[in-house]
Amino acid sequence: MSINMGSADRIIRAIVGIVLLALVFVGPQTPWGWIGIVPLATALLGNCPAYSLLGIKTCKKQ
């Protein structure tokens, strides 16, 4: 599993993931907020399976 996401992509995904997870505990308290685990996990791992399938790399490393 190689890293295929750049730092900006990882930061945006982490923020989106945290915001979605916050919806479970505050605000509308909707269970749909658990979907935030996906962008948060991909941000922490630095690998997006969809990017791998599509051949996309946003990182600067080769």
CA 29/CA 10 separation, integer angstroms: 25
Stated pTM of the model: 0.87
pLDDT at 1: 79
pLDDT in tens, 27-62: 888 899 999 999 999 999 999 999 999 999 999 876
